[in-house]
Amino acid sequence: MIQASAVQHGMWLAAARVAPAAYHMPLVVTFARDPDTGLLAKSCAAVAERHGLLSSAIIERDGITYVVPAAFPAALRVAGPDESIAEEIARPFNLAEGPLIRFALFGRTLVVTAHHLVFDGQSKEVLLRDLAALYSGAIPEPLPTTAADDLAADAARLAERRGAAEEFWTGRWSEPPPLVVAGLELTGRDHGPGQVHPFTPPVPDLPGLTRFETLLAAVHATLAAYGNPRVTTGVDLSTRERGPAGVIGPYATELPVGSESGADLTELRRHLRELYPHRAVPLARAVRRIRPHAALAPVSVSYRRLGETPLFDGELVEVDWLAFAGGVRGDLQLQAVDDGTTVTASLRYSPAAAPVAERFAQDLCAHLTRTAVLAIWREVFNSPEIGPDDDLFDLGGDSLTATQIIARMRKHLGIDVDIDTFFDHPTVNGVVHATAAG
């Protein structure tokens, strides 16, 4: 029996209340042809045994949570003809019995559902890579540490850094205010049933910024445009700063990122990067007077850069990295994955946020498009000072300049603009508005 990590304890407190599916982390893998069920079953069992947390349960003794072996091993189950993938993903876990991962096969589709208590976003890639290696006959290198080693290292980091984190948050932490989205005030910070809106935000590559920073800044700018004087969002950050990347576990935390109305990209990036040295300490351990909630703020953002999808016995598989479990934490929960070319997003929303969720996604995309077009103008003119309302012709541009901008908009954004648009609306805001209206 090993004491659970601080992250696991906080999550266990929240997950023990209602809507447990909000903490389910599904991965849906579809094979090109019918898989070898026996071989797949052996591979699933082996990967669960390899990563000890997957074969565990969480119990409580005298107010302390512990990680213990599961009552039975994780095994592949072949689903019946009347079962649905959605029901499988949403089916509750028995946290005290475990195991905290399930494998179910629906024809050619493997549905892996893990609980967030033992899993994070990067764990999906680790699991898929190990599963593919085992299915293909390879034997992965032994892991250098055990689950007990990793939990002990987590406790040591917490003890080492807690004082600095407490000092950092002193005077910085305040309860996140409600956020207005398209005229509707959102206050939800707990979890419950929800819905999902998939979309593809046009996140541009900007000098000096990662795509994650650009997307987060766009979320803040979009919320500020609704009239919010201060915006605080919960942001998922990886805590995998030490140790091997090939370990499965809940190595993530949520920290608040705030901005004042009108804050620029540089300021928001500075605030974000100031958090990084303190991400190993859960906020509830650094700030004592925090009421437990499933989410730090009504709006949260999660972003992950994907690696290469592994082959299963030499064949490609289709992977749904953003499969939805039917529950949401907070009112708007934006999850995005980046394959190096395209950012794919999933906006999960509560019933309270249902009237404005799609509007928020549309406004976010419009802001990102405006940001991308402005970056193209600045690149073509070789001037970082150009603003969204500067006139193309007053800047010294002409029809050749317009055609260069058009070509880059088509290449990078997939947007076709008629050259007449630049004569009728010769500003970034004008072009973007005319394109959206058309």
Residue 392 is part of a domain; what is its CATH number? 1.10.1200.10
146-149: long-range contacts, CB 8 A cutoff, minimum separation 24: 146/52, 147/2, 147/51, 147/52, 147/53, 147/56, 147/67, 147/249, 148/2, 148/52
Residue 166 falls within a domain, yes or no?
A: no
Assess whether 193 and 272 both reside in one domain. Answer: yes
Q: What is the residue range of 283's domain? A: 177-307+320-365
Distance from C-alpha of 257 to C-alpha of 140, rounded to nearest angstrom: 38
- Against a cut of 0.95, is the pTM above it? no
Verify that 82 and 189 share a domain, yes or no.
Answer: no
Q: Are residues 114 and 215 in the same domain?
A: no
Residues 359, 225, single domain; the answer is yes
- Assess whether pLDDT exceeds 70 at residue 208: yes
Let me know if residue 144 belongs to a domain.
no
Copy the structure tokens of residue 260. 């004042």
Q: What is the pLDDT of residues 414-426, one digit of tens each?
A: 888 889 999 999 9
- Please check whether residues 212 and 328 belong to one and the same domain: yes
Same domain, 206 and 345: yes
Position 19 pLDDT exceeds 80: no
Give the burial string for 257-285 (b: 16+ CB within 10 Å, else e).
Answer: bbbeeebebeebbebbeebeebbbbbbbb
DSSP result, 301-367: EEEEE--PPPPBTTB-EEEETT---SEEESSEEEEEEE-SS-EEEEEEE-GGGTTTHHHHHHHHHHH
Q: Are residues 201 and 281 in the same domain?
A: yes
Q: CATH no. for residue 117?
A: 3.30.559.10
The CATH number of whichever domain residue 359 belongs to comes to 3.30.559.30
Question: Do 16 and 122 have their domain in common?
Answer: yes
* Same-domain check for residues 353 and 407: no
- Looking at residues 215-241, what average pLDDT do you find? 92
Question: Is the model more confident about 288 or about 218?
Answer: 218
User: 253: which strand partners?
Assistant: 237
pLDDT in tens, 286-301: 998 887 788 899 999 9
Tell whether 59 and 82 lie within a shared domain. yes
> Closest by alpha carbon to 207, among 50, 391, 372?
372
Q: Is 22 left (phi over 0), alpha (psi -120 to 50) or beta?
A: alpha
Domain count, the chain: 3
Q: Please indicate, yes or no, whether residues 216 and 184 belong to a single structural domain of this protein.
A: yes
Q: Is residue 153 part of a domain?
A: no
